Amino acid sequence: MTMADRMMVLHEEISQQIGVPLDVYNHPNNTFVASFIGFPPMNLVEAKVSENTLFLNYERAIRFSNSSLLLPEQVIVGVRPEHIHLVPSQDEYFIATVVNVEILGTETLVTFQLTKRTHWIARWNGQWNIQVGERIPLVIDEANIVFFDDHGFRLPYPISSHTMSGEGKR
């Protein structure tokens, strides 16, 4: 990806997306491209949309500050690991249990339980002293959430003006 001016992602001999590498990474056309490009891959989860709330895997509720999400009732939510952060003070957050920590020198990968059936990975710069089993407050950078329809194709949804919250406010 770092050596190309343009790239093509193929799946079963069919072109999935052609473009500048960072555009393909940041704006994948479908869930295959989202999970194929990048390490760790984009976190994906099915969600039900109800007014201003996403129900991830039908169990974790994430609220948006606007009155209504203009999305189909069923979507797939995609979030890159670098867009999940520990909560700075006074931010909206949700609590997650850490299931694995990989300190890779210049960055730390934290795998956490998003729902009973789904683990996601957060990627943070530096070396973090986080322990397996620890419950940590997290926030998702909602400006970088990607929505896909239930067939896995990207939805053209402008999310950048919304704020997400979860279980509480710190």
| pLDDT-based confidence at residue 159 (cuts at 50, 70, 90) | very low
Integer angstrom CA distances of residue 128 from 13, 75, 114, 125, 170: 41, 33, 20, 8, 21
Q: How does pLDDT run across 80-129, given as a tens digit for each residue?
A: 999 999 987 666 688 999 999 999 999 999 999 999 999 999 999 999 99
CATH topology of domain 45-169: OB fold (Dihydrolipoamide Acetyltransferase, E2P) (2.40.50)
pLDDT at 168 over 60: no
pTM: 0.84
pLDDT at 53 over 70: yes
The whole-number pLDDT of residue 163 equals 40
The whole-number pLDDT of residue 67 equals 60
| pLDDT-based confidence at residue 141 (cuts at 50, 70, 90) | confident
Q: How does pLDDT run across 10-33, given as a tens digit for each residue?
A: 999 999 999 999 999 999 999 999
| pLDDT-based confidence at residue 68 (cuts at 50, 70, 90) | low
Percent with pLDDT over 70 in the chain: 86
CATH 2.40.50.140 maps onto the chain at 45-169
